[in-house]
Structure 1
Amino acid sequence: MWFLYFLSWIALIVQISFITVAIAAGLYYLAELVEEYTVISKKIILWMTFLTLGCYVCFLLFEELPNMMVVCGIVSQVAHLYILKTFPFVVIFSPEFIIAVILIFINHYLAFQYFSTVYYSFSEVMAYFTLCLWMVPFALFVSLSANENVLPTVTESRPLLGGDNDVVSNYFSKKGKKYGLLSLFNYLKDTLLVQRSKKTF
């Protein structure tokens, strides 16, 4: 009896490890796709945002969710639309980005508070969290790595033109460190995985 119980815990650890590796591989693949196809990624995230806005309108019409929860959800989707105006260049300290991050926490708080008092099935609660709270922020989080490949723009040239540096040389000299999701995965791949040396004949 105790041995099977012990094996169940070992199996759970193995399953969690496999799921973690699968999620990391999927995130790495999505980050590479976003870097390669930024225009298509922007359109997909835009349509996802409009789909989520449509869900909130349907909540107003067909469900009895609290108005505060629905209004906060709509405001957060509007903030996501403002973030997409400069996509793939995302300014992390811009007001719309900060408002979107704050509204993520507020929306989660309101959703947990409501669903803990009113009974809904698990699939309905997960549908709300997945489609209305997680889908667009997750897509924006994955697309932050596309910010590394943005070329310098005219708005960036003004502070760079003082002195001997021009826009392009300053851009490429600052290009040494990258902080996106894809850079994190590449760093983990280089440090954790054993590299095989190729044989030269």
Structure 2
Amino acid sequence: MSFLYILSWVSTVIHIVFITISIAAGLYYIAELVEEYTQTARKLITLMISTTVFVYIMFMFFDDLPWSMILCGFAAQIFHGIIMTNFPFIRFLSVPFIGAAIFLIINHILAFQFFTSIYYPFVQVLAYFTICLWMVPFALFVSLSANDNVLPTTINDSMGSQDVVTNYFTRGKKQGLLSLFNYAKDSLLPTRSKKSF
């Protein structure tokens, strides 16, 4: 074993660390842009949904993909479109969000089954996964933090209150990524009772 071999492993670890830091910094920057320009982000994500629908239409005419993958992709884009009606306010326990997540999982399973049974070059498989499966959910994931920093502009109250600010502060629940983690922690992890001495 030569010293250059050991040095190559050290270099690989350094590259992985730098790539991870670069991706994290890029995601942070994109999240900041989404928080600052929510209407532009809404238009971009809507354009991504339309592009994905167009790609699925092109698949119907030019490729022999299974109809189950195409229909599942259309259903996922319908749910993404419904999510965009209330953007940037995304509710994790709403039917559109849960439906989009379920169709994302189902479409991954169908795609893995199809691409393992019929050979396609890796670049084409990666193109399908990137454009059809990952692009819109990733954009929605990055934009989750915009929900916490947007001031209320319209009345969306089922109790009939006419004051927008009062409605916003009395609602009492944040719908961001942190609230999802807190909900998961409270509901899934066991709680310990404190001993009183």
Determine if the TM-score, normalized by the shorter chain, exceeds 0.5.
Answer: yes
The counterpart of 1:168, out of the listed 142, 165, 168, is 165
Aligned residue type for 1:54: F
1:71–1:178 Cα change, 3 Å: closer
Distance in 2 between the 1:22 and 1:13 partners?
14
Distance in 2 between the 1:13 and 1:169 partners?
52
1:69 aligns with 2:66: no
**1:150 Cα deviation from its structure 2 partner:** 3.0
**1:92 Cα deviation from its structure 2 partner:** 1.2
Which residue in 2 is equivalent to 1:86? 86
Distance in 1 between the 2:5 and 2:29 partners?
36
**1:177 Cα deviation from its structure 2 partner:** 7.4
Which residue in 1 is equivalent to 2:156? 155
1:38 aligns with 2:38: yes
Deviates more, 1:142-151 or 1:42-51: 142-151
1:130 aligns with 2:127: no
Give the unaligned 5+ runs of structure 2.
182-197
Give the unaligned 5+ runs of structure 1.
185-201
**1:10 Cα deviation from its structure 2 partner:** 1.4
What CA deviation, in whole Å up to 9, does each residue of 1:89-111 have, x standing for no partner?
11111101100011111111111
1:13–1:168 Cα change, 3 Å: same
Aligned residue type for 1:122: F
Matched residue count: 178
1:69–1:125 Cα change, 3 Å: same
**1:8 Cα deviation from its structure 2 partner:** 1.9
Aligned residue type for 1:99: G
What fraction of aligned residue pairs are identical, expressed as a percent? 53
1:13 aligns with 2:13: yes
Distance in 1 between the 2:9 and 2:172 partners?
46
